[in-house]
Structure 1
Amino acid sequence: MLRTNQFQQRQSAGERRQTTRLMFGAFGLTMLLYFIATALSGQNAFLGGSILSNDLSQQYLSLFAYYRKVWQGQATIGYSFSSGLGGSMAGDWAYYLLSPFNLILLLFPQAQLPLGLYVVIMLKLGSASLAFTYMARRCYPQLQALQLWSLAVAYSLMGFVVVYYLHLLWLDALICLPLIVWGLRRLTWDGSPLTYLFWLAAALITNYYMGFMLCIFSVLMFLYFGLLDWAKIQRKLRVIVNFVGASILAGGLAAFVLIPTWQNLTGGKFKLTETHLSTERLGSWQFFSKFVVGNNSNHYPNLFIGTFALLLFILFFLNQRIGWREKLITLGLTLLLGSGLMFEPIYLLWHGFQPPISFPYRFAYLLSFWLLFVAARAWQAGLEPLTRWQGFTLVGLGVVYTGYFFWRRHNFSAISATRLAWGLCVLLAGVALLFWLQKRQPTWAYAGILVLTCLDLGLNMVLIQRTVHTDSGTVYRQYATELGDEIDQIKADAGNQTQFYRIDKNFMRAHDRGDAYQHSYHGASLYTSNIAAVVPEFYQKLGLPGFGYTVAYTNGSKLTDALLGIRYFIDDPQTQSQSQTGVDYYGVRADLTSEPIIAKNGTRVTYRNDQALGLGFAAAGIAALPTTAASDPLANQNRLFQELTGSREQPLSLLKRRSLRLRNLTATTESGVTTLTKERAGAAASLTTSYQGLDAETSYYLSVDQHFRPSVSDFYVNGKKIDFFPVTVQPLILGVKPVNGRITIKIKLKTDQLNYRALDLARFEANVFAQGWQRLQQRQWQLSEFSDTKVVGTITTTAAQPNFLTTIPTVKGWQAQVDGQTVPLQTGLGTFIALKLKPGRHQITLTYQVPGLRRGLWVSLLSLLLVLAWWGWRYWRSRQTAHRNLLGH
């Protein structure tokens, strides 16, 4: 790769203006293509479409609502009791919320938040195109406007973007990447490290996860540039020192984000994710199928960059103007990047040694960028005149590729003869346009290439977007309005009381567990990769949906309601089959029908639980539940009651299991596991059991095995179909009541065989529960001050109840003072903040500070001072050099 003296010096004013015009031309062209493609696929929010899908609808939307509330002064940055039972927000800010583009969302009301997100995505894609244009213009100044725009469109709308662009928090990395590479190019050319330093720091700050990948890629690109220009680089040691120093300082500038995030991850994500990955998807050469237009399969990495750009990449190795040394070095880096698609250790390295849960090959954008970077180099080296052997080679490769995947097309759901034919036609048209360059008509040829690229990338986006299920924006607005009204009714009922309480419900829009963020209430449901690991584990033991990054308080019992302070529960008895509004309904809370009703809204009923505890109370014991007892939630709830109250009685009495009535089934039981097998495979089959002579006013709790999930069976209680929250790995507790003195359970199998362990019914002993629970209610933490980061109150403990237990999950950052003295925190029930106290009256103050934030701020400040000093020294040195040169003349 030859240096270009013109771009070793500063650009002239005219060149800067031309570069700016090229950049904003690419910016506008990309946004126009995105607008048109989303209009054709039904995702254009300006034209009534919706982009609400997958995590954007289930998770990000609520977090961005929280982001707006922070700016409006309605929420705090460091910690939030709207985050499940309560959680640190440091990791959420670092992963989801620190992009400067998010400020645009403040211009949109909450009801129009999906439209705001559409605008943010469009601007980010345009900015990625702008950044690539700038990088390519500076690295390859011979490229003309139409050439630059073709490459920029291929970059900003590549397959990775089209499949993953709804993860808009990742898109900032696509903006920073070309600018980091340009910074590395400058560093190896003239030793200037500041461009690289600034943009790497920006990438780490806006999204540490993608920034980690960019750090690895930066090392590889530095080695690449160094190997290419090593013989020409003056003061080699100085260049290496500049790169190492700039990399360290970039991390230092981002330390105010990285250090708190690390502290957050060590208590959450790192404890939740296994470090072993199934290699089922790795090691298959079928990933080449992703170069077919419209292939949205997640089984392989999304590498589509447009057929013409891929053609240019191949021509790099056929171009006789490029030396073999450069080709070998380029091939080596290509194979090294591609090895992450084949080998597990390298795949895990790119993902921070944590295999991603869904959305695999998240580093594929780096490989796509690399293909385009090499394509730009091939174009800069000059392709005209295209020789016949080059043309025949390209066409031959295209025919072989098309023929192979036409033969194997039945193994790929997203590959068809039509799509393969389109790709071959684009390749032939591209080769024809390159031959056209021989006839001295480059402008028209380049225009044709740009149109061809836009059609190819646009068609790919439309085809893929049409396969994506989206949730209605209208449903979101209606749902948010109705739920907001219900939360207002609850707050009106609560009045001015200072006692802490939580709210939850058994329905949600599109699996979104973040309604507490949306409506500023304290909830018990959450979906975030930064959740405290202890919370889903605790939920599992009590028969509540909890696994990995999610907890959902869609079902529970009077005991769990009271313990976790669920003072208000909104119940909707509809079933999924009855839902026509895009809202999902889970579980059943018939056990609440005897509780006071504070509001009715259509089919929804809001109950108040006057036995709900506040944020803390004095307990007899706080020992953790058995670590392996998640398979028996009824027994765990009895153990929990006895531990907290000191009582020997049990509030849940297991009823004798009734006989099973089997239709077209045989049942065998071994080691507590019952296996149901159809006698006639494929025919209808069911299991029915019923309990009779039950008290109509008594609540009962059914322990239901997780294997009775909708994919394998339909589950009915008293003739009503019950749907379970889909993320469930242990038995669930369902609150039911008899109808005419009977509870009948019926399971209709969809598969030919099913194993289950739990299908038990327990009676709730209300008197036993009330007597024991009254001891806890009498010794509650009386709050005098409450905020998300500081809680102050008094409590009286006794010899029988010496333990102070909160329902605040144990996470780093909390500190406690008892009667003005700092004391160490303990963990209660293996999950919550607790203290051992002497009998008597105590004032307890809990305060939260983001762990590592102060240290991170000091490191960032020191790094900033060093960067400024470095910049000042370089500026002074350049002025001195310029002065000496002037005197020399």
Structure 2
Amino acid sequence: MIQKVRSYLKEHYPLILSFWGPIILMLGYFIYRKMYPFGTSSILTVDMGQQYVDFFQFFRRTILHSPSSFFYTFSKAIGGEMLGEWAYYLLSPFNLILLFFPSKTIMAGIIVITLLKYGCAGYTFGRLLSKRNLKKGLLIPTFSTAYAFMGWSIANQLNLLWIDAIVFLPLIILGLLNLLDHKKGYAYSLWLAVMLIVNYYMAYMICLFLILFFIWYIADTFETWKTCFKKLWLFISRSLISVGIAAALLLPTFYSLQSSKGQYTQDQISAKLEYNPLKMLTKFVLGSFDFKQMPSGYPNLFVSSLVLFTFIMFFFNKKFSIKSRLTALVISIFFIVSMCFEPLDLLWHGMQFPVWYPYRFTFVVSFWMIFLAAKSFDKFNFSPTWWQIWLAFLLEAGILGYSWLKLNKVSYLNKTTLIFSALFAVLTLLLLSIAPKNNPNNIRNVFLYIIVMVEMTANVAFSLNNISYLSASEYSVPTASLSKDTQLLKKLDSSMYRTGQTYSRTKNDGIANGFNSGSYFSSALEKSIPDFYGQIGNPDGDNYVTYSNGTLITDGLLDMKYFFNQKDTSELTGASTTTTLSPLTEKSDLNLYRLVGNNLTTRIYKNPYASSLGYAANSTLKNLTTLYDDPITYQTSWLNAVTGTWPTTKYFTAQNFNEVIFQNATQTVNLTGAVVKRKNTNADSQIIFKFTPKTNNSYYLTLGSGLIGDNVSLYIGNRQLNYYSTFRHTVVVNIANHDKGQEIVITARFKKKTLTLNNFVLYEMNNKLVEQKLKEVKKQAWKIKKHSDRYLSGSISITKSSQIFTTTIPYSKGWHAYVDGKSVSTYKVQNTFLAFDISKGKHTITLSYWPPYLNLGIAISVISLIILFAPALVRRFYKPKLSRASRPYQK
């Protein structure tokens, strides 16, 4: 047994080191940073903490408890399809590991997945080198470690869903090379199909790279034009089969993209350089990544000194044909231009500028460099000439010299990283200058492996030390409160409804914890949803919405039946201050709602005016037009259109402030739309607004986009005003309810030299009238009796022939409506919601959801698999018969 183990290790140690080396090194770093479960920190930062960890919780809940959420969920804002979200975020096979980690320990599960992805990236690249006989011995893990720890993968560690690309890319390339050399195309077609399924976005970039790689391969192996065309046919046909295999996912995903990311495609392109291309040189220095590089930085290109030098030497290596080297040079120049020329940058990103994390495609550039470097190094007996050594020295000197000049202009550069970069470069060149023995594990190659391991680990430390992470408690404390509130609410009410929040951890609390929150953050969010939120006075962006600024009207019509509310520190009896929850918004209207639940740190309130996900509405709702930056008018028109009193009834009245005090600021009589300037630019400036409510009605303050958190700090009394401070359209803030006779003071403190008070208006609501109208809506609401994420059924009474049935479910062709068992045609109202015509009387209404084009996609996938495997199956089935038929007759 021991002998077998020794024999196995002797034969496979290069791939074992390729896998375990990156894992052990990165695990050591995680322990050093005291990341959970090794300390009080976490691996969560930026999108990993604000978005992906919530999707991972959703993944677990869907697989284990709610399979119908795979297609649709009402936890996505006010409802939305999920197949496209799975295709972008959640179909990595590594995510299955999360099923073994309970919700409370999911941070440990993310650590395990991260480590495995680094290990598998090293293994698959090592397998490519081994199977193509490009490397032997320790040189396999040397280049594999450089690949697994390339600057791109370190910089995008927080975008864990993208790391699958560097895991599968070597397998795709290996399959392609085997296909073109031996005409065995199963591996290529299947691995490319897997990548298209796992993450179509990164797969798109790989497909573009495959075209360039194929061009170089043809130049490198050119024989005859006839052979070239045969290989071209193989490449095209097997690539199309890969797309066909993935069609079951790609077709419905493509449909969903038409209403989400597809609507943001750039239609105006400027033929310009995005920055000075020389700045790329600084990215070959250790630690060339920090927080400032996330929103807008330069391509992440660090690949180790060894790879950089041997990549450059490839173009001078006469072992390769001039056609091969010239083609590689042209492709390399194309990559360089792509990383700084706007039209090509857009091409690589699907004609959309990335929101943060620029130059996402550079993992293929790094693969290209490492692959050519590995070929240039030969199997193990690589000995560059002295002029090549001096060329590499001058290149490194140029990189370090230019970086030194930019030392005070580029945030991630410092003297320490420059010194260590120079040290590793010199050591690498000294080792390369030594003539090696004819042995893959000669002493020179052993030291090269050590140098690369240490250099890549140093880059990990220098780069990630520039990034701050959430503490474990910053994640676990609000998550625990949300989980308790959700569990209690499900015990109180198992019906279908939405739930608002006055505290939150992220915009994806709903999908993470299994309640319908009204908030959401995703790159694939349907455009109509933020458009609608922008009209009703809630924060919105291209990829997020936050239901933090509801009024009585929107709470009622959107069926916000319950609210999670945090307790003040003074109320936390028996709880430590570390369990304090940060408030998301002001919600004085909770005074009108009924307390129904009480946890240690939170309360749950019930909204008595919440209607349902559907209700009878006057047909005038069809004519309600889009209206931005006037949410008060839009909400008034919406309620009037639903109740048939459109447009006569008035629910809000603008109010004057009792007193306005300008301190170190220019005065103005008309507040709304005014631009107020600091008088003394070196002193603080603020405006104080005072008013005393004359009734116990709800009071709302509208804030235009000039009043975002970057421009002003708002206070109510002696504390900060709680509101979501990032928005692009006018929002509504609820600042009073049941405060008759109590003076309310709002203070606006300047953050810049000027402050624009656009749409800055105080409104009083006629609560009794609004409550009366909402009760009318509730009387004719859809009483849902059976429900799941993709099926709703219940009864409704239509009292007037002029009414339609409308919902607050976002319109989609995937929803199919049935009235008393008969299918009816649906249409869109408010440019957002699903509705249809209905006759007077009592009806049973059923809605069911099935992703558009999913059936067609499944059919294409099955046909593609048959096309791929049928020839081999036919040959296997008929070959024995043909063999028997060809035998001579014997008596």
Please give the TM-score of this superposition, normalised by the length of structure 2: 0.92
How far has the Cα of 1:760 moved from its partner?
Answer: 1.0
Q: How does 1:475-486 map to 2 (within 5 A)?
A: 475-486=474-485
How far has the Cα of 1:658 moved from its partner?
Answer: 5.3
Pair 1:139-2:124 in alignment: no
Q: Which of 855-864 and 315-324 deviates more?
A: 315-324
Partner of 1:520: 514
Q: How does 1:466-481 map to 2 (within 5 A)?
A: 466-481=465-480
Q: What are the superposed Cα offsets for residues 372-406 of structure 1, whole Å, 9 maximum, x if unpaired?
A: 01100110176644322222222222222212211
Partner of 1:162: 154
**Partner Cα separation in structure 1 for residue 266 and residue 391 of structure 2:** 46
How far has the Cα of 1:473 moved from its partner?
Answer: 2.4
Partner of 1:651: 651
Equivalent of residue 94 in structure 1, options 69, 73, 87: 87
Structure 1 residues 865 and 816, CA gap change in structure 2 (3 angstroms): same
Q: Is the 8 A contact 1:41 1:465 kept in 2?
A: no
* AA of the residue aligned to 1:317: F
Equivalent of residue 231 in structure 1, options 217, 223, 227: 223
Q: What is the Cα-based RMSD across aligned positions, in Å?
A: 2.8
Partner of 2:303: 305
* AA of the residue aligned to 1:465: L
Pair 1:35-2:27 in alignment: yes
**Partner Cα separation in structure 2 for residue 877 and residue 313 of structure 1:** 49
Structure 1 residues 385 and 527, CA gap change in structure 2 (3 angstroms): closer
Q: What are the superposed Cα offsets for residues 126-151 of structure 1, whole Å, 9 maximum, x if unpaired?
A: 1111000011112234x222111111
**Partner Cα separation in structure 1 for residue 379 and residue 13 of structure 2:** 24
Equivalent of residue 386 in structure 2, options 377, 385, 388: 388
* AA of the residue aligned to 1:636: Y
**Partner Cα separation in structure 1 for residue 428 and residue 839 of structure 2:** 82
Q: How does 1:18-417 map to 2 (within 5 A)?
A: 20-43=12-35, 45-76=37-68, 77-141=70-134, 143-231=135-223, 235-272=227-264, 274-276=266-268, 281-282=274-275, 284-296=277-289, 297-298=293-294, 299-380=297-378, 384-417=382-415
How far has the Cα of 1:480 moved from its partner?
Answer: 2.4
How far has the Cα of 1:217 moved from its partner?
Answer: 1.1
Q: What are the superposed Cα offsets for residues 291-339 of structure 1, whole Å, 9 maximum, x if unpaired?
A: 1110113410111111221111122223343343322111011112222
Pair 1:507-2:503 in alignment: yes
**Partner Cα separation in structure 1 for residue 43 and residue 741 of structure 2:** 47
3-state SS, counterpart of residue 25 of structure 1: helix
Q: Is the 8 A contact 2:686 2:749 kept in 1?
A: yes
**Partner Cα separation in structure 2 for residue 465 and residue 457 of structure 1:** 12
* AA of the residue aligned to 2:729: Q
Q: Which of 182-191 and 362-371 deviates more?
A: 182-191
Q: How does 1:872-887 map to 2 (within 5 A)?
A: 872=873
Partner of 2:827: 826
Partner of 2:800: 799
* AA of the residue aligned to 1:653: T
Q: Which of 707-716 and 356-365 deviates more?
A: 707-716
**Partner Cα separation in structure 1 for residue 644 and residue 11 of structure 2:** 75
How far has the Cα of 1:470 moved from its partner?
Answer: 1.4
* AA of the residue aligned to 1:733: V
Q: What are the superposed Cα offsets for residues 766-810 of structure 1, whole Å, 9 maximum, x if unpaired?
A: 111122222211111122321111111221223376111111111
Partner of 1:530: 524
* AA of the residue aligned to 1:664: N
3-state SS, counterpart of residue 689 of structure 2: strand
Q: Is the 8 A contact 2:484 2:599 kept in 1?
A: no
* AA of the residue aligned to 2:471: S
Q: What are the superposed Cα offsets for residues 115-172 of structure 1, whole Å, 9 maximum, x if unpaired?
A: 111111111111111000011112234x222111111011111111001022111121
Structure 1 residues 870 and 24, CA gap change in structure 2 (3 angstroms): farther
In structure 1, runs of 5+ residues without a counterpart are 1-13
How far has the Cα of 1:418 moved from its partner?
Answer: 1.9
3-state SS, counterpart of residue 792 of structure 1: strand
Q: What are the superposed Cα offsets for residues 627-668 of structure 1, whole Å, 9 maximum, x if unpaired?
A: 3x3211122211112111123222222213556321111156
Q: How does 1:779-790 map to 2 (within 5 A)?
A: 779-790=780-791
3-state SS, counterpart of residue 138 of structure 2: helix
Structure 1 residues 75 and 800, CA gap change in structure 2 (3 angstroms): same
How far has the Cα of 1:283 moved from its partner?
Answer: 5.4
**Partner Cα separation in structure 1 for residue 304 and residue 883 of structure 2:** 46
Q: Is the 8 A contact 1:163 1:302 kept in 2?
A: yes
How far has the Cα of 1:673 moved from its partner?
Answer: 2.6
Q: Is the 8 A contact 1:282 1:341 kept in 2?
A: no
Q: Is the 8 A contact 2:507 2:520 kept in 1?
A: yes
Partner of 1:4: none
**Partner Cα separation in structure 1 for residue 280 and residue 876 of structure 2:** 48
* AA of the residue aligned to 2:111: Y
Structure 1 residues 17 and 811, CA gap change in structure 2 (3 angstroms): farther
**Partner Cα separation in structure 2 for residue 163 and residue 482 of structure 1:** 32
Q: Which of 356-365 and 466-475 deviates more?
A: 466-475
Q: Is the 8 A contact 1:402 1:424 kept in 2?
A: yes
Q: What are the superposed Cα offsets for residues 515-557 of structure 1, whole Å, 9 maximum, x if unpaired?
A: 2223222221111122222111111111111211111112211
**Partner Cα separation in structure 2 for residue 516 and residue 836 of structure 1:** 32
3-state SS, counterpart of residue 288 of structure 2: coil
Q: Is the 8 A contact 2:579 2:601 kept in 1?
A: no
Structure 1 residues 675 and 563, CA gap change in structure 2 (3 angstroms): same
* AA of the residue aligned to 2:605: Y
* AA of the residue aligned to 2:788: S
Q: Is the 8 A contact 1:183 1:193 kept in 2?
A: yes
**Partner Cα separation in structure 1 for residue 258 and residue 480 of structure 2:** 37
Structure 1 residues 138 and 662, CA gap change in structure 2 (3 angstroms): same
Structure 1 residues 581 and 217, CA gap change in structure 2 (3 angstroms): farther
* AA of the residue aligned to 2:552: K
3-state SS, counterpart of residue 835 of structure 1: strand
Q: Is the 8 A contact 1:27 1:129 kept in 2?
A: yes
Q: Is the 8 A contact 1:268 1:533 kept in 2?
A: yes
Partner of 1:749: 750
In structure 2, runs of 5+ residues without a counterpart are 1-5, 570-575
Partner of 1:553: 547
How far has the Cα of 1:25 moved from its partner?
Answer: 2.2
Pair 1:736-2:723 in alignment: no
Partner of 1:609: 607
Q: Is the 8 A contact 2:723 2:733 kept in 1?
A: no
Structure 1 residues 484 and 63, CA gap change in structure 2 (3 angstroms): same
* AA of the residue aligned to 1:93: W
**Partner Cα separation in structure 2 for residue 872 and residue 122 of structure 1:** 39
How far has the Cα of 1:862 moved from its partner?
Answer: 0.6
Structure 1 residues 879 and 745, CA gap change in structure 2 (3 angstroms): farther
How far has the Cα of 1:276 moved from its partner?
Answer: 4.8
**Partner Cα separation in structure 2 for residue 172 and residue 560 of structure 1:** 41
**Partner Cα separation in structure 1 for residue 861 and residue 89 of structure 2:** 21
How far has the Cα of 1:20 moved from its partner?
Answer: 4.5
How far has the Cα of 1:873 moved from its partner?
Answer: 5.7
3-state SS, counterpart of residue 410 of structure 1: coil
* AA of the residue aligned to 1:537: D
Structure 1 residues 74 and 191, CA gap change in structure 2 (3 angstroms): closer
Pair 1:843-2:844 in alignment: yes
3-state SS, counterpart of residue 763 of structure 2: strand
How far has the Cα of 1:196 moved from its partner?
Answer: 1.3
**Partner Cα separation in structure 2 for residue 263 and residue 534 of structure 1:** 15
Partner of 1:10: none
